[in-house]
Structure 1
Amino acid sequence: MRPLGGPEMVCHCLIVQTGDGLTLVDTGIGVGAFLGFTMTTGAALDVSETMPARLRALGYDLGDVRDIVLTHLDVDHAGALRHFPRARVHLHAAELEAALRPPSAGERSRYRPVQWEHGPSWVTYGEAGEPWLGLEARPLDGVDGVALVPLAGHSRGHSGVAVRDGDGWLLHAGDAYYVRGELADPPRCPPHLRLAQWSVATDHRSRLANVRRLSELPPGVRVFSAHDAQELAAFA
């Protein structure tokens, strides 16, 4: 994505080997145009970079995906859901409720029902959880080593996704922040991205509080957001 006047941004997803299948953390935009979104973000839709194409390039079949864990239901995070109709879809209950019954005009415009018209097998998680490094985590039903970490603010049920990685953790923080500089002291973020985050947040104050919590995570957690291109490149 190349928003006007800003840095190149990405849709950072994960493919996790779990048991006898695969678990995806977010799906990206997917195949098929979402005209309004692509026009406002300057998204370059390269089919070879979509989740279905990346899986096939790695030698997997789309049916190998047993579970999908969503940070939230915005199109750049869940636009490819329809390519995995048999997968269970894990997310925060508040996020699903907001998408199915949007309580505000802004939420009616941000969610695209076409993404889930195939009738996914939803698995939702509420507020009860267990302490996790200063945050809270909801271990996933039937998926070892992966947990939902509520980080509300960008959307009502926005969450991070923690994945066990050897002796440490990966934490996909979704849209809790857009650029790495937001975790610095003092935080750094281009003005237009700061404005964009404020304009789409359902609770901007909670979002900022969660960014502070993320900046305090111990070294054993590798935290990254969905859209920072440099964070994605660091995995190469």
Structure 2
Amino acid sequence: MVKIHHINCGTLQRDPDSLKVLCHCLLLEDIKGLALVDTGIGVHDILFPLERIGQEIIEQAGFNFNLNDTAISALHQLGFTEDEVKHCLVSHLDPDHIGGLADFPGAAVHVSAIEMNSFLEDNPRYCPEQLKHKPFLKLYHDFDEYWFGFAAKRAELDFESEIYLVALPGHTLGHCGIAIQQEDRWLLYAGDAYYLRDELFTENHPVDELAALMAMDNDLRIESLKKLRVIAQNFGEKIELFGFHDPSELKNE
């Protein structure tokens, strides 16, 4: 069974009076190697922030730059090296989710083909410099399998546990969650399908306005969120659900 480490790979806060959120990523430890689920803010982002991200996005999202809050730092603290990371599973290609990819140039990047196509269409939300290292891309085209009623595709990792990319479109067109089997239970990492956990239990949450503003397709975002609410409210004993930003969801190792 894959061992799961919950790690923080960045902090976003526009100013001292605004909400501080995290970049909650996962490190998957298998006998055949390591995989990251999203990579957060990377070392290259911290060293070259204007070139890789740009001042407008840095200010808009509230990027904080701290070398201790990176995937590489978390790996080293757990006793691993970057060369042991064989795969990176990406929920979507927003800059706070993929900045660390360049820190693991030998890792295959698993991502929805729809998301990759959006990235290549010069949408200003994306930062092309973050993929300039030209990683090997494993693109997932047809989500023709199902996971608890969601369109899904099994990730090609050959790890001991089953792992799926789960379609959760809306925030971006190819946005995916990552489902990881843990014996008779599952963990579902929902990425940015919601920002704060309270959204799973509260309709018309105050953060909804921001979520709608950031969504590439708000109708699809709302549909995905409704499906996640069903999971949270009816499958809590079977599925552990968490997202990328809410600090209350990050487990301490």
Calculate the aligned-residue CA RMSD, in Å.
1.6
In the alignment, what sits opposite 1:227?
A: 245
Residue 15 of structure 1 corresponds to: 27
1:139 to 146, 154, 169: 154
Does the CA-based 8 Å contact 2:14-2:59 persist in structure 1? no
Shift of 1:18: 2.4
1:201-233 superposed Cα distances (whole Å, 9 cap, x missing partner)? 11101111111101111121111111011111x
Q: How does 1:1-236 map to 2 (within 5 A)?
A: 1-3=12-14, 6-31=18-43, 32=45, 33=49, 34=53, 35-102=55-122, 107=123, 109-144=124-159, 145-184=162-201, 186-187=202-203, 189-190=205-206, 193-217=207-231, 218-219=235-236, 220-232=238-250, 234-235=251-252
Gaps of 5+ in 2: 1-11
Distance (whole Å) between structure 1 residues aligned to residue 243 and residue 65 of structure 2: 20
CA contact (8 A) 1:179 1:189 kept: no
Q: Aligned partners of 1:172, 1:235: CA distance in 2, in Å?
A: 16
| Structure-2 separation of matches of 1:143 and 1:152 | 26
Q: Please tell me whether the aligned partners of residues 147 and 162 of structure 1 are also in contact (alpha carbons under 8 angstroms).
A: yes
Q: Measured at CA, do residues 208 and 143 of structure 1 come closer, stay the same or move farther in structure 2, by a change above 3 Å?
A: farther
1:163, distance to aligned residue in structure 2 (A)? 1.1
* 2-structure distance, mates of 1:114, 1:41: 17
2: distance between equivalents of 1:158 and 1:50?
22
Amino acid at match of 1:187: E
Once superposed, which parts of structure 1, at least 4 consecutive aligned residues long, lie more than 6 Å away?
Answer: none
SS at match of 1:10: strand
More strand by share: 2
Q: Distance in 1 between matches of 2:107 and 2:163?
A: 16
User: Is the 1:140–1:146 Cα contact (8 Å) retained in structure 2?
Assistant: yes
Shift of 1:167: 1.8
One-letter amino acid of the structure 1 residue matched with residue 130 of structure 2: Q
CA distance in 2, matches of 1:100, 1:22: 28
User: Is contact 2:37-2:178 (8 Å) kept?
Assistant: yes
Q: Secondary structure at the match of 1:91?
A: strand
Q: Secondary structure at the match of 1:207?
A: helix
Equivalent pairs counted in the alignment come to: 227
Contact 1:10–1:226 (CA under 8 A) maintained in structure 2: yes
User: TM-score of the superposition, structure 1-length normalised?
Assistant: 0.90
Check whether the contact 1:181–1:188 (CA below 8 A) recurs between aligned residues. no
Structure 1: unaligned runs, 5 residues or longer:
none
Q: Is the 8 A contact 2:146 2:153 kept in 1?
A: no
Q: CA deviation at 1:235?
A: 5.0
Q: State how far apart, in whole Å, the 2-side matches of 1:40 and 1:209 are.
A: 26
Residues 120-150 of structure 1: CA distance to partner in whole angstroms, max 9, x if unpaired?
Answer: 1101112332121121221111343211001
Deviations along 1:141-200, one digit per CA (max 9) or x if unpaired, are 13432110011100110000111123211111001010111111x42532xx32221122
